[in-house]
Amino acid sequence: MQTSKFRNRFHIPVCKVIAALLLLMFAGSFSIHAQSEKMNNAEHDDKPYYFGITLGFNTAQYKVSQSKYFTDFDTIMDITPLWRPGFQLGILGNLRLSRFIDIRTIPSFMLREKALQFTLKDTVLTNSFESILFSMPIELKFKSDRQTNFRFYVCAGSKLDFDFNANNKSRRENEIIRIKPFDFGYNLGLGFEFYFPNFIFSPEIKISNGLGNSLDRNSDEPTNKAIEKISTRMLIIGFHIEG
């Protein structure tokens, strides 16, 4: 097992991140409304489809359900999921369904990390799980009326993830836990579109949670047996450049 006695030194104040991003977005929207300017990219709303690129940052952690082994034995005193930062890059495809509804997909490669801290009687084990993830979401996008060069939207949909770095096939017998490569889940988010003469800039914040059980129970390690189910929670701050 990999051991480490340091506590979590990186903590993401999720509520503060969301509040700061929303404040920034609303400040930008008010600034745009306060200006007397012409409508940029006026023909964009009539496009049947368009594409773009996206980059962003994420922070993720595991959601852990404890097993009967954990409650029946005192081998492990506590299991604490830790937040860790990550990065992502992808492409965006958007199809117009109606004036206020689009369907889109954003296939992305993500560098994502999660960590678990196991408290034993005489030590603390902290193990990080680095993922090279390909994520394929399909989402519905519900748009507000366009106000000159600004629009608000919300999005919701499902996703399918594949982790190229999953360790369920690892030959090492002392893996703390083993993780399956495939996962599925849902996305919920909100964003803002700022129209410029040649492109649209869309900052977005999104919750992306897994619904499946990522735990592969093929290990006799106490850290593995103490967990019944593992799923992933992730917060994504993305920036889309759309044509």
pLDDT over 90 at 107, yes or no: yes
Give 7 or 95, the one with higher predicted confidence. Answer: 95
pLDDT over 70 at 178, yes or no: yes
Least confident of 7-16, 56-65, 72-81, 109-118: 7-16
Q: Are 227 and 187 spatial neighbours (Cβ–Cβ below 8 Å)? A: no
Model confidence at 17, in pLDDT bands (50, 70, 90)?
Answer: low
Calculate mean pLDDT across residues 212-218.
Answer: 86
- Would 138 be classed as within a structural domain? yes
Pairing of strands 108-120, 76-82: antiparallel
- Would 93 be classed as within a structural domain? yes
* Ranges 35-39, 106-110, 162-166, most confident: 106-110
pLDDT over 90 at 103, yes or no: yes
- CA pair distance 160, 167, nearest whole angstrom: 18
- Would 2 be classed as within a structural domain? no
Domain count, the chain: 1
Beta bridge partners of 131: 112
Give 228 or 38, the one with higher predicted confidence. Answer: 228
- Would 151 be classed as within a structural domain? yes
Structural domain of 131? 14-30+41-242
Q: Are 200 and 194 spatial neighbours (Cβ–Cβ below 8 Å)? A: yes
- CA pair distance 131, 168, nearest whole angstrom: 13
Model confidence at 122, in pLDDT bands (50, 70, 90)?
Answer: confident
- Predicted local distance difference test score (pLDDT) of residue 26: 54
Calculate mean pLDDT across residues 185-202.
Answer: 96
- Would 45 be classed as within a structural domain? yes
Calculate mean pLDDT across residues 77-87.
Answer: 94
Residues ≥6 apart with Cβ < 8 Å to 184? 158, 159, 160, 161, 210, 211, 212
- Would 5 be classed as within a structural domain? no
- Would 145 be classed as within a structural domain? yes
- What is the H or E stretch that residue 57 is in? strand 49-66
How confident is the model over 33-54, as pLDDT tens digits? 444 568 998 888 899 999 999 9
CATH number at residue 132: 2.40.160.20
- Would 21 be classed as within a structural domain? yes
